[in-house]
Chains A and B, each alone.
Chain A
Amino acid sequence: MSMAAVETKKITLRTADNHEFEVEEAIAMEFSTIKTFFDENPDASEDTIPLPNVTSKCLSAIIEYCKSHLAFRARETSSSIDEQVRTYDEEFVKARDNESLKELILAANYLNIKALLDMLNQAVADRIKNKSVEYVRRFFGLENDYTPEEEAAIRAENEWAFEGVDPDDD
């Protein structure tokens, strides 16, 4: 039997558009969905994992993200590392348009990568923070489904019926 010693194991992933990606096991284990699958089926690691809900564009970005973050984590924690992580995350999000951000969120949710998902959610929140109702609708591609009467009723409620309270620490 051959010595399957410390060689880095590769996992093959197939995206929705039929591209195949080979990734190191460590990276694949960042995807909790895949990790759970392997925990329960340890013999399945030779097979190709189909990811019908993830495009190749998304997956390559996600793989890059996980690679970089694994590298960061391997180094000693310090404030300069934290700074670099922050800069990396900002750059990761900055160039992407709203559509690809949303696609990435769906992919990160599907693959269950908590840290990436939190970061992307925050990025989207930052993009729509304090923006107008119209802007938010355009961002998400939403239609206003209120009738004028309904909208007036909600506005009246918002104005007269209650007052928001800052949450106390619980």
Chain B
Amino acid sequence: MSVLEENPDSPLKKRPPSWSDIWLKNTKPLKHVVFAMQLQSLASKDPKSQTLIPKFANIDRTLLLPDELLLKILSRLPISQRNPNSLVCKRWLNLQGRLVRSLKILDWDFLESGRLITRFPNLTHVDLLNGCLFSPRNSWILLTHRMVKMQTSSDFCSNWKLLEASLLPVEIVDRGLQALANGCPNLRRLVLINASELGLLTVAEECLTLQELELHKCNDNVLRGIAACENLQILKLVGNVDGLYSSLVSDIGLTILAQGCKRLVKLELSGCEGSFDGIKAIGQCCLMLEELTISDHRMDDGWLAALSFCENLKTLKLLSCKRIDLSPGPDEYLGFCPALERLHLQKCQLRSKKSVRALFRVCEAVREVVVQDCWGFDNDMFSYASVCRRVKFLSLEGCSLLTTGGLEAVILSWHELENLIVVSCKNIKESDISPALATLFSILKELRWRPDAKSLLASTLVGTGMGKRGGKFFKRT
């Protein structure tokens, strides 16, 4: 039946092009035919079968469906079906595993024993954070701090060094990283805690595509390992976390980082120390840096002025900072970030006039200002924002010290303002809106005005009459 059994023609006559010629170039159909032939030979052993077709039906059909087709079908199934599918049979375990790209590892042994790589050979995004924590499985006390989740038993030590006590030792983490680096050459994103520079060097050497790294309990030495990841674009470092652990990231580490990771686009520094010099190094070396987030910093005063070295910085976020910069230095050395577009202040203490004034001067080019749940942000503080003449978008949420007068004083001088959001600012009263302000509101593209509403009011409370006052919502798009 098969054309492969054709008699070769005599060498003098040119053979007309045949189906087998194209098969030899495109072997996919060839494999099908070979399969079919093999199955037919199996089938013909049965004396009762006469034709090809009935026997086809009795044989396991997925043996005929090649891997690539099954993979296409499996990839269209929901993620919730992955684990059940892995129990269908061993071949499916393998196929399903090949489709998984992103995982959080919870058990370190799963990684070290190699089971992770065997089951999931195509991982690109790996989160080892909770895997590095040893937690007894059958205790019912769950401790969470942002992304860190651990179960702890009731006899934890009284000085609260819970996390330190539960962390896997550095040597073990490094060993696991070695296994991971060898098994996931295409790794793109990695989250971990308590690694040493050696472990990170292994990853840097094997995983050349590593683009995103999140390192908890980081210190200056570890940053030497990170500097070897040349293609790193997104980096988050966590140094100190109050109550959980302390770990020092200083100017030394920041400078090493700056010189090694020149392709950084997004950087988040959480609980880090350092000063002007460290930030300056980053600004001067990481020319592609677009987004800088500083969270709960412990930096020395005077660092703000270094921001002007970040010439391509587009977004600056300050989160949970207990102070900004208590002694920012004279104005002529402050400079400003020429490309800055967005300034976000969330949960910060804005009690120092010098700080806030210097901050707005450094950010005078911004187009978008978001202030959310910050303490000490009163009319005087906000008045320093008038220096930012190009603001188009302003969002104020939870600024309970601001009054309508204070708001008006600033935004009337912002001639490019187009979007205004005011939510949960209880001292901003509608009754204080002046005619000039009302005129400004009428020409805005977007206005969301809910100063009296509690921003966390659930929709289920709507019928009870709570939060009924101040529910106006103007939006002209």
Contact = CB atoms under 8 A, between A and B. Distances in A.
Interface in B31-81: 32-33, 36, 51-53, 56-57, 60-62, 64-66, 69, 72-74, 76-81
Contact of B102 (A53, A118, A167): A167
Contacts of A132: 84
Interface string A145-161: 11000010011011011
26 contacts: A16-B36, A17-B52, A36-B26, A44-B17, A53-B33, A53-B36, A55-B53, A106-B65, A109-B66, A121-B76, A125-B77, A128-B73, A133-B84, A133-B88, A140-B61, A143-B89, A154-B86, A154-B93, A158-B83, A160-B106, A161-B106, A161-B109, A163-B103, A164-B83, A164-B104, A168-B102
A124 B88 contact: no
A142 B22 contact: no
B448 interface: no
A157 B72 contact: no
B431 interface: no
Interface string B72-114: 1110111111111111111011000000111111110110000
Given A16-B1, A17-B51, A162-B103, A129 B19 contact: no
Determine the main DSSP class of A at the interface with B: helix
Given A33-B22, A130-B81, A142-B62, 10 more contacts: A16-B36, A16-B52, A17-B51, A40-B22, A105-B69, A121-B73, A137-B88, A164-B82, A167-B101, A167-B102
Chain A, interface residues (CB within 8 Å), range: 35 or more
B17 A40 contact: yes
A158 B21 CA distance: 47
A52 B19 CA distance: 11
B80 A130 contact: yes
B8 interface: no
A17 B52 CA distance: 8
Interface of B: 1-3, 16-17, 19, 21-22, 26, 28-29, 32-33, 36, 51-53, 56-57, 60-62, 64-66, 69, 72-74, 76-90, 92-93, 100-107, 109-110, 115-116, 119, 125, 127, 137
A168 B85 contact: no
Nearest to B72: A121
A76 interface: no
A47 interface: yes
B446 to A, nearest CB: 26
Interface of A: 16-17, 33, 36-37, 40-41, 43-44, 47, 49-50, 52-53, 55, 99, 102-103, 105-106, 109-110, 118, 121-122, 124-125, 128-130, 132-133, 136-137, 140-146, 151, 154-155, 157-158, 160-168
A162 B107 contact: yes
Contacts of B100: 164
Contacts of A44: 16-17
B90 to A, nearest CB: 5
Given A36-B26, A50-B19, A146-B90, A161 B105 contact: yes
A136 B66 CA distance: 17
A88 B375 CA distance: 62
Contacts of A125: 73-74, 76-77
A52 B66 CA distance: 18
A158 B86 contact: yes
A36 B92 CA distance: 33
Contacts of B89: 137, 142-146
B137 A160 contact: yes
B477 to A, nearest CB: 25
Contacts of B110: 157, 161-162
The 7 closest A-B pairs by CB, nearest first: A125-B76, A161-B110, A41-B17, A161-B107, A163-B104, A140-B62, A165-B102
Contact of A141 (B29, B60, B85, B137): B60
A145 B102 CA distance: 27
Contacts of A145: 89-90
A50 B17 CA distance: 13
A51 to B, nearest CB: 9
A136 B326 CA distance: 65
A162 B76 contact: no
A72 B52 CA distance: 35
B81 A146 contact: no
B62 A52 contact: no
B2 A52 contact: yes
